[in-house]
């Protein structure tokens, strides 16, 4: 029963993760890290690396959500969503269709193409799909990254497997500090201990090799394999399984963490929505050898879907030396240096202006 539900959840998760890089909004990936441009495409919005407040707000939301889910649902991530458990189970599920004498090594064999697909899908979160396909065969860096990542994934999900969950998984260690007596966990019913048939099937099917009858331990991933095994033995006898999920989901702490996570999500969305379509900033860089001249660096961010053509200007007390035109591609930024000459004795802040069709941006910088 639970195994079928977990496989459905795993397939839905795989479809979402593998399909998301191919979803585009406004001609760009719905979710992709652009490393050369140091920006994140986020469902139609663009975040640059220096916009730390937005990155912090998004990270805070994910952190609070993770803590809340763990407090309420316990090890649901480990058993239902974590690649360390989900991908090997999908491989074993496929291998079950093989003839009996091939099943032993079938899962490890099936895991090879599965981890290759996962490794390539991770590349798609940094490169557009078409570019990633081409770079895989033309770029030594991309090819090397793909192969190393593939090897690490295969070793972690195959030979290492549940050993990682039992020993060094940091999230597993953190969960013990977050659980309370109402957290949803898998437990053996001590009140019916005398009725247990002691078939030990629950222990034989456990992927992390624990005996749930001895009590809940950190190594348990809440995969529910033991529940299905117990049900296999008890259902024909017309009795309820001795092992089941136990806990209280709807309670005060659940509402509290749900509210806190929702507030953090709302704060992140509000900050994201308040980002201007075009922003302009100027920073003083230094003084060249020529007297009365200062160097400045400007930057224009364009979050819109169309290109921008702007003209740089300053207030009448100063003069721009060099190029005034600024062109910015859609969802991109443009930066450059400009020299400003002031009349003798002039000082104080310089008012910069970047103007274009429907756009008039201003910023100030000192003139030492």
Examine the pLDDT at 249 and tell me if it is beyond 90: no
Minimal CA–CA distance to 173: which of 22, 299, 70, 51? 70
- Same domain for 69 and 160, yes or no, is yes
CA distances from 178 to 48, 78, 256 (A): 34, 15, 14
Residue 250 or 27, more confident:
250
- Say what the pLDDT of residue 226 is: 92
In a domain, 271, yes or no: no
Q: What is the mean pLDDT of residues 263-288?
A: 86
Q: Which domain holds residue 185?
A: 2-265
- Say what the pLDDT of residue 40 is: 85
Q: What is the mean pLDDT of residues 157-167?
A: 82
From 235, 265, 295, give the residue that closes a domain. Answer: 265
pLDDT band, very low/low/confident/very high, at 123 (cuts 50, 70, 90)? very high
Q: What is the mean pLDDT of residues 349-354?
A: 88
Examine the pLDDT at 120 and tell me if it is beyond 90: yes
- Same domain for 128 and 256, yes or no, is yes
- Say what the pLDDT of residue 177 is: 77
User: Which three-class secondary structure string do you get for the chain?
Assistant: CHHHHHHHHHHHHHHHHHHHHHCEECCEECEEEECCCCEEEECCEEEECCCHHHHHHHHHHHHHHHHHHHHHHCCHHHHHHCHHHHHHHHHHHHHCCCCHHHHHHHHHHHHHHHHHHHHHHHHCCCCCHHHHHHHHHHCHHHHHHHHHHHHHHHHHHHHHCHHHHHHCCHHHHHHHHHCCCCCCEEEECHHHHHHCCCCCHHHHHCCCCCCHHHCCCCCCCCCCHHHHHHHHHHHHHCCCCCEEEECCCCCHHHHHHHHHHHHHHHHHHHHHHCCCCEEEEEEEEECCCCCCEEEEEEEEEECCCCCEEEEEEECCCEEEECCCEEEECCCEEEEEEEEEEECCCCCCCEEEEEEECCEEEEEEECCC
Percent with pLDDT over 70 in the chain:
96
- Say what the pLDDT of residue 102 is: 64
Q: What is the mean pLDDT of residues 160-182?
A: 80
Q: What is the mean pLDDT of residues 23-51?
A: 83
Residue 2 or 147, more confident:
147
- Say what the pLDDT of residue 119 is: 93
- Same domain for 159 and 25, yes or no, is yes
Most confident of 141-150, 161-170, 310-319: 141-150
CATH code, 286:
2.60.40.10
Q: What is the mean pLDDT of residues 263-287?
A: 86
- Same domain for 115 and 42, yes or no, is yes
Average pLDDT, the chain: 86
Q: What is the mean pLDDT of residues 286-304?
A: 84
Minimal CA–CA distance to 160: which of 76, 87, 80, 79? 87
- Say what the pLDDT of residue 104 is: 62
In a domain, 272, yes or no: no
In a domain, 96, yes or no: yes
- Same domain for 112 and 207, yes or no, is yes
Total domains, the chain: 2
Percent with pLDDT over 90 in the chain:
16
Examine the pLDDT at 274 and tell me if it is beyond 90: no
Q: How many CB atoms lie within 10 A of CB 172?
A: 21
142 contacts: CB under 8 Å, gap ≥ 6: 123, 127, 132, 135, 136
Among 55-69, 92-106, 253-267, the minimum mean pLDDT is found in 92-106
- Same domain for 155 and 68, yes or no, is yes
- Say what the pLDDT of residue 121 is: 92
- Same domain for 24 and 132, yes or no, is yes
- Say what the pLDDT of residue 103 is: 62
| 185-227 per-position pLDDT tens digit | 899 998 988 888 889 899 998 888 888 988 878 888 888 899 9
Among 160-174, 259-273, 292-306, the minimum mean pLDDT is found in 160-174
Distance, CA of 230 to CA of 240 (rounded, Å): 9
- Same domain for 200 and 296, yes or no, is no
- Same domain for 92 and 142, yes or no, is yes
Examine the pLDDT at 347 and tell me if it is beyond 70: no
Examine the pLDDT at 266 and tell me if it is beyond 60: yes
In a domain, 270, yes or no: no
Q: What is the mean pLDDT of residues 47-51?
A: 77
- Same domain for 255 and 285, yes or no, is no
Structure tokens at 84: 């360390």
- Same domain for 249 and 315, yes or no, is no
In a domain, 250, yes or no: yes
Examine the pLDDT at 345 and tell me if it is beyond 60: no
Examine the pLDDT at 138 and tell me if it is beyond 60: yes
Distance, CA of 123 to CA of 129 (rounded, Å): 8
Examine the pLDDT at 158 and tell me if it is beyond 60: yes
């Amino acid at each position: 029963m639970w195994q079928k539900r977990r496989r459905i959840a795993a397939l839905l998760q795989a479809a979402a993760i593998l399909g998301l890089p191919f979803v585009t909004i406004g001609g760009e990936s719905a979710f992709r890290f652009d490393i050369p441009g140091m920006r994140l495409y986020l469902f139609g919005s663009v975040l640059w690396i220096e916009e730390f407040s937005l990155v912090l707000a998004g990270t805070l939301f994910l952190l609070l959500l993770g803590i809340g889910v763990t407090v309420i649902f316990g090890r649901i991530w480990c058993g239902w969503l974590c690649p360390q458990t989900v991908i090997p189970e999908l491989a074993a599920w496929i291998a079950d269709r093989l003839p009996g004498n091939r099943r032993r090594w079938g899962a490890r064999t099936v895991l090879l193409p599965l981890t290759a697909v996962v490794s390539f899908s991770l590349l798609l979160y940094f490169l557009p799909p078409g570019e990633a396909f081409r770079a895989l065969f033309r770029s030594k860096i991309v090819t090397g990254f793909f192969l190393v990542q593939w090897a690490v994934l295969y070793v972690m999900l195959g030979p290492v497997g549940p050993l990682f969950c039992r020993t060094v998984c940091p999230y597993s260690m953190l969960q013990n500090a977050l659980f309370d007596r109402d957290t949803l966990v898998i437990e053996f019913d001590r009140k019916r201990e005398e009725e247990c048939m002691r078939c030990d099937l629950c222990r034989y099917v456990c992927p992390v090799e624990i005996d749930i009858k001895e009590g809940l331990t950190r190594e348990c991933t809440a995969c529910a394999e033991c529940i299905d095994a117990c049900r296999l033995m008890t259902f024909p006898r017309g009795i309820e399984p001795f092992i089941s999920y136990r806990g209280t989901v709807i309670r005060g702490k659940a509402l509290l963490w749900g509210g806190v996570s929702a507030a953090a999500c709302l704060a992140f969305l509000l900050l994201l929505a308040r980002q201007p379509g075009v922003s302009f900033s100027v920073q003083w860089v230094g003084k060249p050898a020529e007297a009365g001249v200062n160097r400045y660096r400007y930057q224009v961010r364009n979050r819109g879907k169309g290109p921008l053509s702007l003209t740089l200007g300053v207030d009448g007390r100063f003069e721009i030396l060099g190029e005034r035109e600024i062109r910015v591609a859609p969802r991109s930024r443009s930066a450059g240096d400009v020299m400003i000459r002031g009349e003798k004795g002039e000082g104080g802040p310089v008012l910069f202006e970047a103007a274009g069709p429907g756009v008039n941006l201003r910023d100030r910088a000192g003139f030492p």
